Amino acid sequence: MPENAILDALRWRYATKSFDPTKKLSEEQVALIVESLRLTPSSFGLQTWKFLVVTDQSTKESLQKVSWNQPQVSTCSHHFILCRPATYSPEDAIEFLDLAAETQKVPRESFAGYEEMIGGFLGAMDGDARAKWMEKQVYIALGQLMTVCAAEQIDACPMEGFDATQYSEILGLEAKGLVPVVCCAIGFRAADDHAAAREKVRFATEKVVEFL
Ligand SMILES: Cc1cc2nc3c(=O)[nH]c(=O)nc-3n(C[C@H](O)[C@H](O)[C@H](O)COP(=O)(O)O)c2cc1C
């Protein structure tokens, strides 16, 4: 088995079921997590996401009730809700293309071919397919978030066990044009979290990886 710091961190992390509610992320830790989310790569670079961060205790408690009552939500320090836009069309890519031209100091016209490619890609998909495509991007952000947390010895629990419609109502997401995709409760494990002692269950390398 190879040994290095990243693998140690990945073995250390686990889906934390119970956080110590008295332990909060520092401002520096929040800033690092937020910047790592912002740096997530995405299809065409379009960044079809928005990350909401809930710290208000009563809001976390309301969200827990519609998250299968999972204690991670109210005990964590910061509850991240990873969202996608409700809809996305080629016109929505313009903001990105304008920014790309400005950032890379090239004429906007040099992105004409890229813009056409994006238009063709999106044009081939209906609303459902676009939603699925955006959700895939959001999961890349979730993966990056969990790995960064592990590397920094910050605990996290990725969560699909929540009612997206209820989240949307509680947080007013329809008005923001957002759909919640997946969550991640972040903080520090409680000393008595039973899940911490569980052995990791993973298939053997030969089962999940094949070199051709
Ligand atoms: C997308 C996703 C959604 C998950 N949803 C939940 C959840 O709602 N509640 C929970 O306790 N664990 C949830 N998990 C945690 C998994 O059960 C856990 O990652 C898996 O059993 C492997 O264990 P480990 O993360 O501790 O290594 C989720 C994991 C992923 C990746």
Q: Is residue 191 part of a domain?
A: yes
For the beta sheet containing 50-54, the strands, ordered from the edge strand earlier in sequence to the opposite edge, are: 50-54, 78-85, 178-187, 155-159
Mean pLDDT of the chain: 97
> What pLDDT does residue 1 have?
55
Q: Is the dihedral of CA 69, 72, 77, 82 positive or negative?
A: negative
| Portion of the chain with pLDDT greater than 90, in percent | 99
Residue 161 CA to ligand 1 center (angstroms) comes to 9
Q: Is residue 51 part of a domain?
A: yes
pLDDT, one tens digit per residue, over 127-183 is 999 999 999 999 999 999 999 999 999 999 999 999 999 999 999 999 999 999 999
CA distance 92 to 78: 30
Question: Under the phi-then-psi rule, with left for phi > 0, alpha for psi from -120 to 50, and beta for the rest, what region is 69?
Answer: left
Q: Is residue 192 part of a domain?
A: yes
Q: Residue 72 sits in a domain of what CATH number?
A: 3.40.109.10
Is the model's pLDDT at 119 over the cut of 80?
A: yes
Q: Is residue 74 part of a domain?
A: yes
Is the model's pLDDT at 93 over the cut of 70?
A: yes
Instruction: Output b/e per residue, 65-80; b: 16+ Cβ within 10 A.
Output: ebbeebbbbbbbbbbb
Q: Name every protein residue with a CB atom under 6 angstroms from any ligand 1 atom.
A: 14-15, 17, 70, 157-161, 182, 200
Nearest protein Cα to ligand 1, atom 29: 158
Is the model's pLDDT at 121 over the cut of 60?
A: yes
Q: Is residue 107 part of a domain?
A: no
Average pLDDT over residues 204-209: 98
User: Residue 76: helix, strand or coil by DSSP?
Assistant: coil
Domain span holding position 201: 5-89+124-208
Give me the number of domains the chain comprises.
Answer: 1
Neighbours of 21 (CB within 10 A): 16
Nearest protein Cα to ligand 1, atom 9: 159
Average pLDDT over residues 7-16: 97
Nearest protein Cα to ligand 1, atom 13: 159
Q: Is residue 109 part of a domain?
A: no
Is the model's pLDDT at 24 over the cut of 70?
A: yes
Residue 157 CA to ligand 1 center (angstroms) comes to 7
> What pLDDT does residue 2 have?
60
- Helix, strand and coil in the chain, % to nearest 5: 50, 15, 35
Q: Is residue 102 part of a domain?
A: no
Average pLDDT over residues 73-96: 98
Q: Is residue 68 part of a domain?
A: yes
Which pair of structure tokens corresponds to residue 190?
């409680």
